[in-house]
Structure 1
Amino acid sequence: MRILYIASAFVTDAPSKPSRSLARIATIVAITTLISKVTGAARQMATAAVFGVGPAVGAYGFAYAIPSFFLILLGGINGPFHSAIVGVLAKKERRDVKPVIETITTLLVGLLLLVTIGLIVFAEPILRFTASGLFISPEEALRQGIDPATYAVTQQTRLIAITQFKIMAPIALFSGLIGIGFGALNAADIYWMPSISPIFSSVAVMIGLGLFALHLGPAASLSANALLGGQVLAWATLAGAVAQWLIQLPVQWQAGLGTLKPHWQWQHPDVRAVLKVLGPATFASGMLQINVQIDIFFSSLIPNATAAVSAWSYANFLVMAPLGILSNTILVPFFPVFSHLATSGQWDDLKSRIRQGIVMTAVAMLPLGALMIALALPIVRLVYERSAFNAEASQLTASILIAYGMGMFVYLARDLLVRVFYALGDGTTPFRISLVSILFIILFDFLFVKPFGAPGLVLATIGVNIFLMVVMLWFLSKRLRGLKLHSWIQPLMGLTGASALSGLVAWGLWTGTDTVWGSQGFLLLLINLGIAALGGFMVYGLAAKQLGIPEVQVCLTRMRAKIPFL
């Protein structure tokens, strides 16, 4: 979380640019991000169709955890490398940037090359630590009552995961190079390439899956070639990361932003400035990824871990897409308002805006969560159920999606409260709270995963988010001398009731249409789902309007600005 505060400080210090330029940049980023999201969705659908929830994709969920950790931590936009380089070099002339970029690249390649070698050499011990459930002995499996067929799948998953981990280990190296490229290009006001480069990663995976499917033929043959399929998936993922880096190089070189030539100016002031920011920023961002690693560990302890981690990944993707859109719609406009009110000492207005933000979050997220709960199965069927992704896989994924629906509100409300702390100039408090929350993640995973299986992972996350919200509200109330939380209860309870009603109506409409004319085939399934969702949203809109909550209209206005056809 702290990295967001650091990044916001960079933005504040950056020189102002004409509004037309900012609008053009925003348009470029928005369009390329949308294309990237669509491509990512196609990648997920292709993976589900080819592998379902079988050993190849299950093993991938465990093997990719650490490579993706590096890709998000080092290679992500707004990641530590990107933010540190932009913050230090944005005001520099390009001729001054070149030796700094080359020195940082030299240092990075040497360090991450050693990390990559270590990951390859110690692949099995690392997986034994991060996914110990895959290494269960036959005697322990018998003691736990795991049937032989499930145990055989688990062992196959383990072997595939070790192979995939070794193949994808170099992603650690390329992640750092991608992050440096992102930072260098953005510091030079080149935005389109960093935004569009993730598309190549998804395209590489889809090409690999396509070639694999063409080579082996029908889906029945794919399950018998899980090891080969797992290798193809891993190599395609690595190829995507390499392509994501290579596609940046010509633009970076042409702009004079450094080459691959070794450079050794370790004492350069700008190099030292970047490294000074990079250390704490990497640590802060890395702490956020520990949650995922803990969930991966506990998911390996589920008896049918192969299917569980696969379904968890598919459900997570269905949640992140709408959550990202609504997050930008709701959270982004509030941050500068919070900052202005905090800076000017308008505490009563700040408290009012915090309440408004929480209520607006509830306006958007509670009905979305209710509809996800009510329509989880048809949503999963529409997006994923084809070829190797069968009805059983849909049921498992839908159960996880239902759990996600239960926590939509607290997920976004937590992020809103974090931004209040940043507006107050306090990045330390939410960071310390996050450190303490790691203990609760372990506790809740331990309590929920065994009785609930894969949905327990999500329920544990919800529990942690509730803990974070309560603690942050307590600190904010203490710092702002009261938040008048009693004034929040009535609108939140009313919106919860309206959302529950919308979910019941949506479920009734889905059940009715499915009973009358069935839901076989993509088009009929889409029509039934559309009728149910539209009916649910209409009932929610009518019910919410009767509550007389002003935030309902404000939220609708903002969403219409982002989504014109609403």
Structure 2
Amino acid sequence: MGALSASFIPVFSGLLANDDEEEAWRLAHTILNLLLIAFGFIAAALMVFAPQVIFLVSPGFGSSGEQLALASNLLRIMAPALIFLGISGLMAGTLNSYNHFATPSLVALVQNVIMVAAIIFLAQRMGIYAAAIGFLAASVCQVLIQLPALLKRKLSYRAVLDLRSERAKSVAKLFLPVLVALAASQSNLIVDKWFASFLETGSISYLNYAFKVGSLPLNTLVAAIAIVLFPTLSRQAATRDTDALRDTISLGVRIIAMVAVPASVGLFVLSKPIIGLLFEHGAFGSAATVATAAALAAYSFGLVAMGLNMLLVRSFYALHDGMTPLKASLVFIVFLIALDIVLVRPFAHVGLALSYTIAVSVMALVMLGALRKRLQGLDEAKLIVSFAKTFLAAVVMGVGAWFTASYLSATLAGGTKLTELTVVVIAISVGALLYLGALVLARAEEIAIIRRLIRGKISAKQVAADDV
């Protein structure tokens, strides 16, 4: 559903920025009705042809009639969720365009809570069907929790399907390249697994665990920054306010760097204790911890580029440009495959992680260069000063966190999860205090901006305007 939001928000926000709210809602209802028709048809087809779909995706189930029947029934239960997930994505994009982020941010939490509750309370009676029912119920609740916020906008359903409008064509024109770019940027999940399948047993798991841990700060903090800035970028692009757009992107890059750089350094120096704390038990022994930690250390070097890409792709989408991110994604795939071939033999699974880090960094540089050229600069002087302060503060943080973890590991009685948790929490806390202290001493401008945001003295919409 990410491709839908990415192609819808720029057009919808642009109409709002130009005081054409009536046309904006006409577009929203056109997209909604198109979703209902398309996803309704797909859901119905999945329910009717469930056995054929399961056999196509997992041919091995065909040898067992019982397994095929079970999988088909599960698919039939979950298929209608596609409709509600589509509506939920459109609702979130609409609310974000009005600078309403709180309710859409609860969607993932509500989904997880309902899924867990369904498994806990229904699994004993319904077995695996509990998970499927929980998934469907969660998708329905995603719509229900966002509905009150939309009703405050005087929402009323309209049976509109104006596919010939220029606005609908603009969404469609963006959607396909956005969808392809999104799929291409996630290709490492397939490519790296393919290469890892030829390595020692466990290599795929090492990469999966390391990537999930490394992505955590991005999928929480950095993604939130990019999501909040996206409607503002879209409005500024729609009103052709290039100076404001440039300032917003520059500020976004600096704030993302302030999160991603210390996360990168922290995950690098604490990779082993973090992986040991999270995964080392049972069959996952010390050797697996070392192997996964090495992959995490390799992935950590790419966190800054991964974080910047979240903002850069949205900057191009705000400009109604889906082709530049698509081209950058194709460059990413070419570099990823080429580097995998070169690095997998000497470095095994760590080489695959390094390949991803290098490829995603190249992708970020390609988009950064293209955006800089299009906007005739990105306030490079301010970016360089900010990056220098952030990097030096992160180095101080990394040294402090490493010494803290080393000292505690040597002095505390080891062997228990409580000890491991103590080491990681204290090391992260010491590192965070050192990082913030170093930024304050360096008089980083972004600290003052973040402080004002937290205190509510300035809105996200005003930040870039004041940051000149």
- Give the counterpart of 1:245 among 130, 136, 140: 136
- Whether 2:348 is the aligned partner of 1:453: answer yes
Matches within 5 A, 1:65-84: none
What is the Cα-based RMSD across aligned positions, in Å?
4.4
Aligned to 2:85: 182
How many Å separate the matches in 2 of 1:376 and 1:8?
37
How many Å separate the matches in 2 of 1:174 and 1:14?
38
Aligned to 1:224: none
Preserved CA contact (<8 Å) 1:123 1:166: no
Matches within 5 A, 1:89-488: 90=32, 102-110=40-48, 114-121=52-59, 176-184=79-87, 196-199=110-113, 201=115, 240-241=131-132, 243-245=134-136, 280=176, 285-304=182-201, 307-488=202-383
Preserved CA contact (<8 Å) 2:252 2:311: yes
Alignment size in residue pairs: 410
How many Å separate the matches in 1 of 2:112 and 2:230?
27
Gaps of 5+ in 1: 17-84, 125-163, 212-234, 254-267, 562-566
- Whether 2:430 is the aligned partner of 1:535: answer yes
What letter corresponds to residue 289 of structure 2 in structure 1?
S
- Residue by residue over 1:350-376, the C-alpha shift from the partner in whole angstroms, topping out at 9 and shown as x without a partner, is 223322211111111111211111111
- Secondary structure of the structure 2 residue equivalent to 1:453: helix
Matched residues, percent identical?
A: 23
What letter corresponds to residue 538 of structure 1 in structure 2?
L
What letter corresponds to residue 431 of structure 1 in structure 2?
L
- Residue by residue over 1:256-285, the C-alpha shift from the partner in whole angstroms, topping out at 9 and shown as x without a partner, is xxxxxxxxxxxx9859999x9699476554
Distance 1:86 1:392, change over 3 A: farther
Aligned to 1:8: 9
Distance 1:110 1:383, change over 3 A: same
Distance 1:193 1:426, change over 3 A: closer
Displacement of 1:239 in angstroms is 6.1
Distance 1:293 1:421, change over 3 A: same
- Residue by residue over 1:183-202, the C-alpha shift from the partner in whole angstroms, topping out at 9 and shown as x without a partner, is 35677999888863444555
- Residue by residue over 1:146-197, the C-alpha shift from the partner in whole angstroms, topping out at 9 and shown as x without a partner, is xxxxxxxxxxxxxxxxxx9998798777665322132356779998888634
How many Å separate the matches in 2 of 1:489 and 1:496?
10
- Give the counterpart of 2:388 among 488, 493, 497: 493
How many Å separate the matches in 1 of 2:306 and 2:455?
23
Distance 1:557 1:373, change over 3 A: farther
How many Å separate the matches in 2 of 1:97 and 1:331?
25
TM-score calculated relative to the size of structure 1: 0.61
Aligned to 2:22: none
Preserved CA contact (<8 Å) 1:10 1:87: no
- Secondary structure of the structure 1 residue equivalent to 2:313: helix
How many Å separate the matches in 2 of 1:498 and 1:165?
56
Distance 1:441 1:198, change over 3 A: same
What letter corresponds to residue 196 of structure 1 in structure 2?
V
- Secondary structure of the structure 2 residue equivalent to 1:519: coil
Distance 1:432 1:403, change over 3 A: same
What letter corresponds to residue 390 of structure 1 in structure 2?
G
- Residue by residue over 1:464-494, the C-alpha shift from the partner in whole angstroms, topping out at 9 and shown as x without a partner, is 2211111112211221223353542232133
Distance 1:393 1:99, change over 3 A: closer
- Residue by residue over 1:53-87, the C-alpha shift from the partner in whole angstroms, topping out at 9 and shown as x without a partner, is xxxxxxxxxxxxxxxxxxxxxxxxxxxxxxxx976
How many Å separate the matches in 2 of 1:387 and 1:87?
52
Gaps of 5+ in 2: 18-26, 93-102, 145-158, 457-468
Distance 1:14 1:486, change over 3 A: closer
Displacement of 1:503 in angstroms is 0.7
How many Å separate the matches in 2 of 1:445 and 1:183?
35
Preserved CA contact (<8 Å) 1:382 1:526: yes
Displacement of 1:511 in angstroms is 0.9
Displacement of 1:545 in angstroms is 2.0
Flag the structure with more relative contact order, 1 or 2, with Cα contacts below 8 A and sequence separation at least 6: 1
